[in-house]
Amino acid sequence: MIKIDMEAGLVVVDGKDGNATYPIGTPEAFSAISRAWIRSGWDTKYVYSFSWMGRPIIQLPEDMLRVQEAIYRIKPDVVIETGIAHGGSLIYYASIFNAMGKGRVIGVDIEIRPHNRQAIEAHEMYPYITMIEGSSIAPDIVQQVAALVKPGETVMVLLDSNHTKAHVLDELKAYAPFVSKGSYIVATDGIMGDLVGAPRSSDDWGWNNPREAALEYVATHPEYEIENPVIPFNEGSITEPVTYWPSAWIKRK
């Protein structure tokens, strides 16, 4: 539990070892407020209120800014994303590639609904996008993705489909080999592990989430490590991101 005293400029955090009081302008206060904000945003479906170039993009805006920074720094030839939904994130990555003058996006989803497919195919960013319908972990689908990646290309992968630990582990095993050295495979939405008891959550989310899959995968694959991407500009005191993607950024060494 936290208590925010705006008049005094203090944040009181109730922890296991008692209360701690922080000035509101400290990283500790910011972290506590951010955790409450993340939970409130989940309960109110805050991330369902954004679009990118006309397509719904169900993502936390801060995560999208951070992934943009990584894409611009790494300059991948290909971004592979599992999970398409309304196509907003595909359009987002495609628009970055359009601005950069290079790159393309491969999207995979077990079901691409006809109205979403039609809207994506009619979009001005569609020339940068290829969509594949089918389970992201089915061998024939993985082979279709592999056939679209040319030897020597720089690849980045984002996993945003089925978020169970088992499925994400299978995706990591299938798609991590695509990732170039110095690039990332991102197991999104590990925030599930902190949302047990919240609306639209399940009792098993404490262990059954993408963060746990990422941690387990890295523990058995030493050629990868969990490392947040470099923040190219920071004149503030906050170094830990506000994110739905904790322990998500898996870097190939």
Total Cβ atoms within 10 A of residue 125: 22
Asked if 86 contacts 58 with a C-beta cutoff of 8 angstroms, the reply is yes
Listed residue (153, 221, 219, 164) closest to 187, CA to CA: 164
pLDDT tens for 168-204 read 999 999 999 999 999 999 999 999 999 999 999 999 9
Residues 163, 120: one domain?
yes
Structure tokens at 215: 């941690």
Q: What's the pLDDT score for residue 14?
A: 85
pLDDT greater than 90 at residue 17: no
Residues 12, 91: one domain?
no
Task: Measure the CA–CA gap between 191 and 194, rounded to whole angstroms.
Answer: 6
pLDDT tens for 89-107 read 999 999 999 999 999 999 9
Structure tokens at 194: 């902190």
Which has the minimum average pLDDT: 9-23, 114-128, 231-245?
9-23
pLDDT greater than 90 at residue 19: no
- What is the H or E stretch that residue 208 is in? none
3-state secondary structure of 216: helix
Sign of CA dihedral 144, 150, 151, 153: negative
Structural domain for 179, as ranges: 49-252
- What is the H or E stretch that residue 121 is in? helix 114-121
Mean pLDDT of the region 20-41: 95
Strands (E), the chain: 2-5, 10-15, 18-23, 51-52, 55-56, 78-82, 104-109, 129-133, 155-159, 184-187, 224-226, 249-252
Type of residue at 156? M
Residues 31, 73: one domain?
no
Residues 138, 209: one domain?
yes
Residues 110, 202: one domain?
yes
- Of the candidates 44, 59, 76, which is a domain's last residue? 44
Residues near 80 by beta carbon (within 8 Å), at least 6 away in sequence:
105, 106, 108, 145, 149, 155, 156, 157, 158, 175, 178
Residues 19, 136: one domain?
no
Mean pLDDT of the region 48-75: 97
Residues 54, 8: one domain?
no
Mean pLDDT of the region 210-227: 98
pLDDT greater than 80 at residue 16: no
Q: What's the pLDDT score for residue 18?
A: 78
Calculate the average pLDDT of the chain: 96
Residues 27, 140: one domain?
no
Residues 90, 27: one domain?
no
Number of domains in the chain: 2
**pTM of the complete model beyond 0.85:** yes
Task: Measure the CA–CA gap between 22 and 33, rounded to whole angstroms.
Answer: 11
Residues 138, 80: one domain?
yes
Listed residue (66, 96, 97, 69) closest to 188, CA to CA: 66
- For the sheet containing 18-23, what is the strand order? 2-5, 10-15, 18-23
Q: What's the pLDDT score for residue 253?
A: 96
CATH number assigned to the domain comprising residue 103: 3.40.50.150
pLDDT greater than 80 at residue 230: yes
Residues 126, 37: one domain?
no
pLDDT tens for 112-169 read 999 999 999 999 999 999 999 999 999 999 999 999 999 999 999 999 999 999 999 9
Residues 71, 169: one domain?
yes
pLDDT greater than 90 at residue 52: yes
pLDDT band at residue 1 using 50, 70 and 90 as cut-offs: confident
